[in-house]
Amino acid sequence: MNFDELIERRGTHSAKWDKMQEFAGVAPDEGIPMWVADMDFRPPQGVIDAVKAYADHGVFGYFGDDSDYLAAIRWWASTRHGWDIAAEDDGIFSTHGLVNGAALAMHTWTQPGDGIIVFTPVYHAFHRVIIAGGREVVQFELAERDGRYEMDFDAYEAQMTGREKMILFCSPHNPGGRVWSVEEQRALADFVAKHDLLVVSDEIHCDIVLPGHRHVPFTVAAPEARGRTVMMTASTKTFNLAGMHTGNVIVEDEELKAQFGATVAGLGLSPNAFAKHMVPAAYSPEGAAWVDALCAYVGENARIFDAGIARIPGLRSMPLQGTYLAWVDFAGTGMEREEVMRRIADDAKIAVNQGPSFGEGGESWNRFNLATPRSRVEEAVARLEKAFGDLQ
């Protein structure tokens, strides 16, 4: 759990580091990558040991019995989130990550031209996969109240056209860092019931919740909505295993389960064998202790980062409740976006995700990844203070 260790990732085919120049114009030899959402930390030792044991065996045939894998998913959901998934294994589907899971859900339950609702600003891959699938992105902009995002169902009622069939719900919210309350999720359940919608709840960040906050899965918050709910979880964001491209689509309703199963069978999908070894090692008591330490570490990184942002006139960060992604508003600088980005990339030499890519409401914002050793967070703060020093 040495999160302070500086691990060299340059030259390792790391998108975060080796694609930084291409993505943001920041050279890896002097830049700080705070864009794509992966961490600069190794996973728990048990996960590394599981990979080594599998590699040492040296035979990589088709994976067979996945009972340990499925049991680990159910154990984690129950012990960490109070969610008891039925013992029947056929409701947990392995997908090639959760963007893939969202695409499969969209193709199972919607048709080209249907509207897919997202609460913006939101994870940019939602927009990409909806458009690529020939569906319409319906942007329901989140309202900012008391410095945090909230869903505004009165406004959304006025936007409904009848073409909407599905909601892609991001919980906890990326990039705003909101951990949605039970009451908010129940209000969402009422809205989808009223309009006969399906909710696909992407909960990939569910384990990364800062001290003082608690994530409640949508299906636990609103069990009466299970007939129109599809849950998505993954170990990849929690334990920095994104390169494994594995995720879980969990369907508890029997009719929905059969429909999604037909899509999976029709595409001939099969799981990644390395993931089948890694996930049980991650979803374990050792993994739980590691995640507890990670959340505390990210929380302190967020405190340091937010304090630095607060020292720069015209900048403000949204208080982080979950995820390791800071959301910073530059509107108060009065600068055009091009000048803001010039200072971040050219002067501070930091690569970030630009707010407009997250949809409506993100125009003046940028997203910063705080899942890196504290010394880099402190250095990033110092660079930003210098880059925007003339505003002091």
pLDDT in tens, 366-392: 999 999 999 999 999 999 999 999 987
259 class by beta-carbon count within 10 Å (0-12 exposed, 13-18 middle, 19+ buried) = middle
Within 8 A by CB and 6+ apart from 148, the residues are 176, 178, 318, 319, 321
* Other residues' Cβ atoms within 10 Å of the Cβ of residue 288: 17
Average pLDDT over residues 90-119: 96
pLDDT at position 285 is 97
pLDDT at position 391 is 86
Give the separation between CA 63 and CA 274, rounded to whole angstroms.
9
* Other residues' Cβ atoms within 10 Å of the Cβ of residue 84: 10
Tens digit of pLDDT for each residue in 113-164?
999 999 999 999 999 999 999 999 999 999 999 999 999 999 999 999 999 9
Tens digit of pLDDT for each residue in 1-52?
799 999 999 999 999 999 999 999 999 999 999 999 999 999 999 999 999 9
Give the separation between CA 61 and CA 300, rounded to whole angstroms.
43
Q: Which range among 117-131, 207-221, 265-279 shows the weakest confidence by mean pLDDT?
A: 265-279
Residue type, 226: R
- Partners of 224 in beta bridges: none
Indicate the length of the chain as a whole number.
392
Is there a cis peptide before residue 121, judged by omega within 30 degrees of 0? yes
pLDDT at position 86 is 86
- State the chain's mean pLDDT as an integer: 96
Tell me: pLDDT of 89 over 80: no
Three-class DSSP labels, 256-299 = HHHHHHHHHHHHCCCCCHHHHHHHHHHCCHHHHHHHHHHHHHHH
Tell me: pLDDT of 341 over 80: yes
Tell me: pLDDT of 64 over 90: no
Average pLDDT over residues 71-96: 93
pLDDT at position 215 is 98
pLDDT at position 90 is 82
With beta carbons less than 8 A apart as the criterion, state whether 166 and 106 touch. Answer: yes
Within 8 A by CB and 6+ apart from 269, the residues are 94, 95, 96
pLDDT at position 271 is 84
304 sits in which H/E element: helix 285-310
Antiparallel, parallel or unpaired: β 32-33 and 143-145: unpaired
Residue type, 274: F
pLDDT at position 270 is 85
pLDDT at position 297 is 98
**Using CA atoms in the order 353, 358, 360, 366, what is the torsion angle rounded to 10 degrees?**
-20
- Assign 341 to helix, strand or coil: helix
Within 8 A by CB and 6+ apart from 73, the residues are 85, 92, 233, 248, 250, 279, 283
Under the banding of pLDDT at 50, 70 and 90, the label for residue 87 is: confident
With beta carbons less than 8 A apart as the criterion, state whether 50 and 56 touch. Answer: no
What is the C-alpha end-to-end distance of the chain, expressed in Å?
38
